[in-house]
Structure 1
Amino acid sequence: MNTLRRVSFILCVMVSFANYADEQLVIKLARPDYPLVQKNEYIHDVLEKSFAVMKVDATLLYNVKPMNDKRIVEQLTHNKAVTLAWLSLPGEIPDSLVRTTTPLYKGLHGKRLLIIREGDEATFHKVNNLDTLKQLIGLQQQSWYDYTVMKNNGLTVNGDLDYLGMIKALETGLGDYFPRSVLAIESELVKLKQFHLIIEPSLMLQYPSNYYFYLSKENQHIAELLEQGMQKLQRSGELERIYLHYFGDVEKRLKLKQRLTITLEKTALQ
């Protein structure tokens, strides 16, 4: 590309983004599939600040009814009820979709702590790698993604029980540990306070689970604006400040950086 053509290309890109920045965008989002949750505050904050830093007037609207991930992908693909979604999709990006490149949550959704019986701390103190963890019995439902990850990494897992059955198996010694998300484990233990269960204090399981913003290819220009906005926030440190505002206390309370991390791969290692 000669100098004149290169300059013309850059000017076209600049004009294109200037035009997009002048328009008012209406972004349709799926309501979180959780009872009584109206919106994801963290995601909402990232979106608002990313579009604002690009000087784009974006209105974020939520669907009346919540949707699961499968339904969201269908709606994104056809560019109907959902303009944009935050998802962790395994494998290749569907041909009909585009995504941003900056991960959301910093992999937090792939971090698991262990619910164990009170008094079993010494047993887990001896666990220092994947092989030693294989000697213990984990609990997980077969329909949950964590079950597949654990089995593919050679862990011993009982997947035949429902939720209450897993708690009872843990309490009675038929299982040794129950991995739960770092974002939910504290509130979960509050609901299980009648059982003698605790968060294992020194270990953390982790597998790749990165969330990104996904949009239909028809909304490529919105994806580009959002991508540039997120990169600006990242360079200024604002993206990190947003993350710490919502999740910094969780990292500190659960001492995530001080824990021994056992990494689980998504692909079969057997």
Structure 2
Amino acid sequence: MLIIRKLILLLVFGCFCQLALGQQVVRYNISLKFTDSKQSYYIDLLELALKNTVEEFGAYKLEPVVIEMPQGRTAIMVEKSDLIDVTWRMTSQELEQSLSAIYWPLLKGLMGYRVFIIGKDKQEQFSQISVEEQLKILIAGQGSDWPDADILQANGYNLMRSPASGLLNMLEKGRLDYFPRALHEPWVEIAERDQFSVEKHIMLRYPAPMFFFVNKENHLLRDRLSLGLQRAFEQGDFEKLFQHHPITKNVLERAKIDERIVFELTNPLLSERALASIEKIQPYITH
């Protein structure tokens, strides 16, 4: 408890110092225990949005806050203005009611394009699947607090929820049959795990935009990120980052989506505004 209090005091003191220097401090959460290289994409995009708005909003400083916690907890901390100013999450109506969403899809809607991590000797089993009912018999694994779990369940999939950190171990032990992941995720996650492979035959697809979220009272950061992302999309900076970032580079080609059977799912969690956000970026998407 004493360590946490000291951390809070240091962060508050740091924020006052930065404000005195005329900088807007933007704090986000990272984990040291469960490092995730994919987060670098969102951090770079966050920096791009802030950089694009220096003229209107002034200097900024991105500040990582190291606290080990599940995904859902970060949203609660942003809602309470507790140590974190921004988070990035797949959206839902519930999340948009508690936080201010920046309605520019950070992955161009590709978060809802799902391929599977499977055991390395299981490809033949999945290659035999031709209709959705065959897949629904098998057990998918998803994080306990992930919106994807609710989406799969609403579409009638056989699902096991678990803390995200344990899903690959559950898959290895045979408690799961497959682990659906967004197009940019599986290859990074199993790069050093030879016991797994990325399934080659099937893809799930549902509308699932990924947004930045800030506290509802933080109008300054909301307006800054909204303007910064709009400029990034319209001026081509976003597309350049997406096409060349190590996390998203060649993601469509790598997944070979044209060679897959696609099962279309509905997303009951989406607001009309979130759905419209996917449509408005279509002119900027290149494949």
TM-score by length of 2: 0.67
Separation in structure 1 between the aligned mates of residue 122 and residue 68 of structure 2, nearest angstrom:
40
Amino acid at match of 2:50: F
Q: What is the correspondence of 1:1-270 to structure 2 with a 5 Å cutoff?
A: 24-32=23-31, 35-36=34-35, 40-54=39-53, 55=55, 56-95=58-97, 97-116=99-118, 121=123, 124-134=126-136, 136-140=137-141, 143=144, 145=146, 146-157=148-159, 163-169=168-174, 177-193=178-194, 195=195, 198-246=197-245, 247-256=248-257, 258-267=259-268
Contact 1:48 1:58 in 2 (8 A): no
In structure 1, the residue corresponding to 2:103 is in which secondary structure?
coil
Amino acid at match of 2:256: K
- CA drift of 1:88 comes to 2.1
In structure 2, the residue corresponding to 1:235 is in which secondary structure?
helix
Separation in structure 1 between the aligned mates of residue 124 and residue 204 of structure 2, nearest angstrom:
18
In the TM superposition, what whole-angstrom CA distance separates every residue of 1:85-107 from its partner, at most 9, and x where no partner exists?
A: 21224224455531211011223
- CA drift of 1:140 comes to 2.1
- CA drift of 1:81 comes to 1.0
- Alignment match, 1:18: none
- CA drift of 1:178 comes to 4.0
- CA drift of 1:168 comes to 3.8
Separation in structure 1 between the aligned mates of residue 186 and residue 63 of structure 2, nearest angstrom:
30
Change (3 A) 1:36 1:117: closer
In structure 2, the residue corresponding to 1:208 is in which secondary structure?
coil
Residue correspondences, number: 239
Contact 2:142 2:179 in 1 (8 A): no
- Alignment match, 2:18: none
Contact 1:114 1:200 in 2 (8 A): yes
- Alignment match, 1:3: none
Separation in structure 2 between the aligned mates of residue 71 and residue 97 of structure 1, nearest angstrom:
13
Change (3 A) 1:98 1:132: same
Change (3 A) 1:131 1:26: same
- Structure 2, unaligned runs of 5 or more: 1-21, 270-287
- CA drift of 1:234 comes to 0.6
Higher alpha-carbon Rg:
1
How much identity, in percent, do the aligned residues show? 25
Change (3 A) 1:39 1:58: farther
Contact 2:142 2:180 in 1 (8 A): no
Separation in structure 1 between the aligned mates of residue 39 and residue 169 of structure 2, nearest angstrom:
28
Separation in structure 2 between the aligned mates of residue 228 and residue 101 of structure 1, nearest angstrom:
11
Change (3 A) 1:200 1:58: same
- CA drift of 1:237 comes to 1.3
Change (3 A) 1:216 1:187: closer
Amino acid at match of 2:82: K
In structure 1, the residue corresponding to 2:92 is in which secondary structure?
coil
Contact 1:104 1:212 in 2 (8 A): yes
Amino acid at match of 2:156: G
- CA drift of 1:51 comes to 2.2
Question: Cα RMSD over matched residues?
Answer: 3.4
Change (3 A) 1:32 1:243: farther
Change (3 A) 1:35 1:122: closer
In structure 2, the residue corresponding to 1:218 is in which secondary structure?
coil
Separation in structure 2 between the aligned mates of residue 47 and residue 159 of structure 1, nearest angstrom:
30
Change (3 A) 1:62 1:102: same
In structure 1, the residue corresponding to 2:249 is in which secondary structure?
helix
